[in-house]
Structure 1
């Protein structure tokens, strides 16, 4: 979650037209060169594998498929294909049965019953209550320091009461609890030790089985028909597209610059499909830092960013300016007024803070799209008197720095946020890493009180508390909201059955057919 094009924000005064003209000239030359490369790639013979396989290109590596630890978006999306879940969430963010049905015995007790037929693990054994208990207890164990612990809310204990029955006991009432039971289930023989080594803790009972996992390639096998599914890590977007056109990849999703998508949309034999997305892109601050810990500095940064220009010129309009972590249309999302683009106000705020042209370090990944965004933000902030040094690191190092708090500024995206208490996981002072995702060390008693109160109630009162928490967070500004980016996939003409989800999940791969399957009809 991120080359370059000269960028000038709309609304700039003298020189803006000239800068945009130069930018257009650079884009025209770049697109011309790109078109030539794509034409040459298209001249090659399409490459089909000897055995049935669907190949998808990824911009980022898959770092950890262990469902007890969670992690980056690429890992989470692939992991969903490997493991069964007790409960899932539907398109309206409401819980629905997956591998189990549930009933509420009283305010503190829930009983889950595994549905028939129960899924089977890779060794043929059935998923049983002991597997569920071992997986959830591993996350509850303080010694494991799982970052997913906070997502289980007030869950206190888990016990198997009968074959296929599991009781969950809470420390306090929690109206959202069924929707928390989305953890991928491991076999008990693997779940008990977080230090278990592969392939044990990658043995799931989902629609796919893991065959190989390396730094640049993940190979799965679809259980229903033995189709191979291969994820290839190709950080450079142009190289990913060239591989698709040469038949070395079949499917790409997101992380492609607008000029590539426009060029691909004009090519025969290539599908380009867009849909609204819920991934929330933001600029994060380290509040423990003496400079970015000053609210006036954070406000100056927010007023120095022209989000509409970024969406228009950098993303070709394929995004919607964001206000909150909760996605558009969520029942608990607050309507928030954006920070107005006002470089003059940004300068006044810096003067009030006693800072003259402060220097900030902004960390991002080596993904070219993210570097382009960082460069555009660097230019906008410079116009308001804020000097920014952009540091790009390979994904593992970058994400490790973010989790460890080694940053002043960084940009990332939250994907798949559905439950409103994700706000607690991200912004509560008790959710510092590794037990939570409050990476900027944000501590606000008013926000804590609102999130604590929301956890003790339900219905519209709960939704109202979450909305007020979002308003207070927005005023305290640990994040500058940027946008919700559209999802897009690019596929070769023979790919059938793939569908985009708002959260960007790859679930539709369970039913997707590779190009050669159509050719043999």
Structure 2
């Protein structure tokens, strides 16, 4: 059978795109044979990050893609997207109109992979552990609105929040809210290495060489009880050093599925030169890329410098040169496919106006060219990142207003340095933590944020962000989100660049691919099947 390219349609809602469809049957069979999935995500233990798979530390898509298979959360976002539904819980809901008290009832009969029963005390312990460790990665910020937790018996827990938060059910679906064993995870210390134990759909084993995972093996957990339907019994996740090696492994049949991050050249080649037995699927994506600033660093503290960069960068030419049809310009932290998006950066700066940038710098008394170093990660967002930053350097230096150099580092080095604020200007990507516009605002601008940025706008942090979370009807928060986006465009603590599409390539005997990667780039390995089978 010739390779086909499938483009999945998007349903535009409050946070889109999401996939619409009915639940699948357990049709199809893998015969016990592992489905092998390739990725360029790397799992490395370092001195700065010795516990890459601990839910109190991990805050990147690759690590979350391991934890989602193994660590159960009270809630999860269902197959077709939309509001969270119970997973380890049997039911959950707010108990007050103000969205300040949230009660969950745990499913009966849950067990950790070692056989111990799961109780609400384990739920309370796991979440309190994340809050107590308060890792510099910013992961605890997702749960920091919890004031107290009250347990009743073995199955009921009530979360009392510091402030109203309609997004709290989504936050309970993220890995830092995952349930871990008190025996295996110490209360005030990260669990070093690559062991992961939970009550999720799979048990996990890592094959390690030195300080790096070379194979991650997920085996169906016979004791799993939850809302997910497994369509296979075993999956292997194999990290590759680059997309070219991953592509060769797919061509040779060593892997069945190729996930992130494929290069633009690979995608174009698959479209233009179909290969026998391989199917390329284009999926909705909510990934964004941006420049971040340490707003207290000498070279980036002047707002006029950040604004001048916003005036100078030509997103259209950047995307055409580097990504082709795999990306589109982004003029806000919130992607254009999200209903609350506004083109705040375009409205203020347009695209590529060095004359206005020069006037702005002159009026601010800033001597040009402004000398800057742009830092980026060489191995975390795909091989095209280096070319992207070379292009940004060319644009900024071409204006003669900047004297820019670029410097790349592996993610295991880059991320700790960024968190410690060793970079004045740096390039980052973001995949949403959960399907709500708040996930593009709070992690960047709220207290205990992911970037560890010193930027603090009191109007944003003390008024607008809390106000946006009070709205149970999320569409009612649109005006508040519009104000937030305008303030970001004015102050430029971050500079949005583009939002991307995503692609998955698979052997044509693998089904469920369209469900196995959602718009947030989360791997849902339980959706994959080997064999034709039937299902909806």
Are residues 312 and 203 of structure 1, via their aligned partners in 2, closer, same or farther at CA, if it must alter by over 3 Å?
same
Offset at 1:92?
5.8
Deviations 1:454-511 (A, max 9, x none): 167324664432331121112111111111100101122222211231111101x202
Aligned length: 462
Q: Contact (CA 8 Å) 2:376, 2:407: kept in 1 or not?
A: yes
1:110-140 deviation line (CA, Å, top 9, x unaligned): 2201235x54321233332121111111123
Distance 1:377 1:335, change over 3 A: closer
Match of 1:60 in 2: 41
Specify the alignment match of 2:105 in structure 1. 113
Aligned Cα root-mean-square deviation (Å): 2.8
- 1:95 aligns with 84
The Cα of 1:452 is off from its aligned counterpart by 5.1
The CA deviation string for residues 49-68 of structure 1, in whole angstroms up to 9 with x for no partner, is 99722222222313522222
Q: Which residue of 1 aligns with 2:258?
A: 252
Inter-partner Cα distance in structure 2 for 1:143 and 1:281: 26
Aligned with 1:330: secondary structure?
coil
Query: Which residue pairs with 1:393 in the alignment?
Result: 409
Do residues 448 (structure 1) and 461 (structure 2) align? yes
Query: 1:70 is matched with which residue?
Result: 58
> Does the aligned pair in 1 maintain the 2:127–2:178 contact within 8 Å?
no
- CA deviations 1:72-130 (Å, max 9, x no partner) are 221112211111111123566533222221133334432201235x5432123333212
TM-score by length of 2: 0.79
Task: Say which SS state the counterpart of residue 317 (structure 1) adopts.
Answer: helix
Residue deviations 1:307-343 (CA, integer Å, cap 9, x gap): 1122223212222222333344434434424232112
Contact 2:195 2:205 in 1 (8 A): no
Is 1:296 the counterpart of 2:286 in the alignment?
A: no
SS of 1:202's partner is coil
Q: Is the 8 A contact 1:450 1:468 kept in 2?
A: no
Q: Indicate the SS of the match to 1:350.
A: helix
Whether 1:410 aligns to 2:415 is no
Matches within 5 A, 1:18-29: none
For 1:464 and 1:99, locate their aligned partners in 2 and report how far apart those are by CA, in whole Å.
35
Is 1:286 the counterpart of 2:274? The answer is no
1:318-397 matches, cutoff 5 A:
318-338=326-346, 339-340=349-350, 341-352=352-363, 353-367=365-379, 368-385=383-400, 386-397=402-413
Instruction: Please say if 1:421 is aligned against 2:438.
Output: yes
Q: Secondary structure at the match of 1:229?
A: strand
> Any gaps of 5 or more consecutive residues in structure 1?
1-48
Q: 1:135 to 1:145 in 2, by over 3 A?
A: farther
Preserved CA contact (<8 Å) 2:138 2:452: no
Change (3 A) 1:467 1:120: farther
Q: Distance in 1 between matches of 2:145 and 2:134?
A: 18
Asked if residue 232 in structure 1 is aligned to residue 238 in structure 2, the reply is yes
**What secondary structure does 1:363 align onto?**
strand
Q: Deviations over 1:271-326 (max 9, x none)?
A: 11112211111111221111211111111212221111222232122222223333
Give the alignment's TM-score, normalised by structure 1: 0.81
- Given that residues 68 and 139 in structure 1 are in contact (C-alpha distance below 8 angstroms), is that contact kept between their aligned partners in structure 2? yes
Which among 487, 496, 521 is matched to residue 504 of structure 1? 521
Q: 1:219 aligns with which of 217, 220, 223?
A: 217
Q: For 1:279 and 1:144, how far apart are their aligned partners in 2?
A: 24
2:322 aligned partner? 314
Structure 2 vs 1, CA of residues 194 and 77 (structure 1 numbering), >3 Å: closer, same or farther? farther
Kept after mapping to 2: 8 A contact 1:131/1:191: no
- Contact 1:308/1:321 (<8 A) preserved: yes
Secondary structure of 1:190's match?
A: coil
Equivalent residues of 2:309, 2:357 under 8 A apart:
yes
Please state how far the C-alpha of 1:378 moved relative to its aligned partner: 1.2
Other structure's SS at 2:393 match = helix
Q: Distance in 1 between matches of 2:192 and 2:31?
A: 28
| Counterpart-to-counterpart distance in 1, 2:374 and 2:454 | 17
Aligned partner (choices 481, 490, 499) of residue 505 of structure 2: 490
Unaligned runs of 5+ in 2: 1-29, 45-51, 222-229
- Partner residue of 2:247 out of 215, 235, 241: 241
* Cα pair 1:154 1:170 within 8 Å, conserved: yes
SS in 1 for 2:147: strand
Task: Say which structure is richer in helix.
Answer: 1
Which deviations, in whole Å up to 9, do the C-alpha atoms of 1:402-453 show, x marking residues without a partner?
111111221111102433433233113x32xxxx214332122232233354
Q: Give the structure, 1 or 2, with the largest relative contact order (CA under 8 Å, sep 6 or more).
A: 2
The aligned counterpart of 2:224 is none
Partner of 1:474: 489
Matches within 5 A, 1:162-241: 162-182=153-173, 183-195=177-189, 197=191, 202-214=196-208, 215-217=212-214, 218-223=216-221, 227-241=233-247
Structure 1 CA distance for aligned equivalents of residues 306 and 207 of structure 2: 41
Compared CA separation, residues 255 and 272, structure 1 to 2 (3 A): same
Q: Which moved more, 1:320-329 or 1:261-270?
A: 320-329
